């Protein structure tokens, strides 16, 4: 069972909150550099939008660190995917599983049978930057599981698949 990592998500929340506090403290110490509280001041709008984005990561980090539900479950029945979708995919519906490099980190790719992909209704989006489940460009029935913020690496998830169904692992 793979869960959200407490240390990673809490540190994300603390660093984001610290950045907001640092900017506020800087402008309190140096009021001459502070933007005016007006939507006409571009610096105020920029700083406000950045603070909103950082605030989002504070809330997300805290909520993910408190969420102890399993997000990926690999067992003899198949692979269960959480992340708000709570979908279970049986081994008969999985064509292959492999690691894929996305930037520097390996990510777990799961190739699904067409009808299983549609039935799972995973609501994947290319534009969701924080989602641990992503579609794979050029492979319409493939799901990419990003291990960012999880307590288990993608390579360990692949090893779990390999121990249960070695014939599905693709290199």
Tens of pLDDT, residue by residue over 5-50, are 999 999 999 999 999 999 999 999 999 989 999 999 999 999 999 9
Domain count, the chain: 2
Residue 106 is predicted with a pLDDT of: 87
- Same domain? For 122 and 86 the reply is yes
Percent of the chain with pLDDT over 70: 100
How big, in percent rounded to 5, are the helix, strand and coil portions of the chain?
45, 25, 30
Residue 105 is predicted with a pLDDT of: 82
Q: Which of 60, 58, 56, 154 is nearest to 103 (CA)?
A: 154
- Same domain? For 91 and 147 the reply is yes
- Tell whether 160 is covered by a domain: yes
């Amino acid at each position: 069972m793979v869960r959200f990592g407490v240390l990673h998500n809490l540190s994300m929340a603390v660093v984001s909150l610290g950045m907001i506090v640092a900017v506020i403290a800087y402008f309190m110490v140096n009021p001459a550099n502070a933007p005016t509280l007006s939507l006409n001041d571009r610096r105020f709008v920029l700083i406000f939008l950045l603070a909103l984005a950082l605030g989002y990561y504070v809330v997300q980090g805290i909520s993910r660190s408190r969420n102890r539900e399993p997000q990926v479950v690999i067992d003899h029945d198949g692979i269960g995917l959480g992340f708000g979708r709570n979908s279970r995919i049986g081994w008969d519906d999985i064509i292959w599983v492999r690691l894929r490099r996305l930037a520097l980190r390996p990510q777990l790719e799961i190739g699904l049978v067409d009808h299983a992909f549609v039935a799972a209704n995973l609501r994947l989006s290319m534009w969701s930057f924080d989602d641990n489940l992503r579609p794979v460009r050029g492979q319409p029935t493939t799901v990419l599981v990003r291990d960012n913020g999880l307590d288990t690496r993608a390579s360990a998830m692949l090893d779990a698949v390999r121990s249960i169904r070695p014939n599905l692992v693709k290199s």
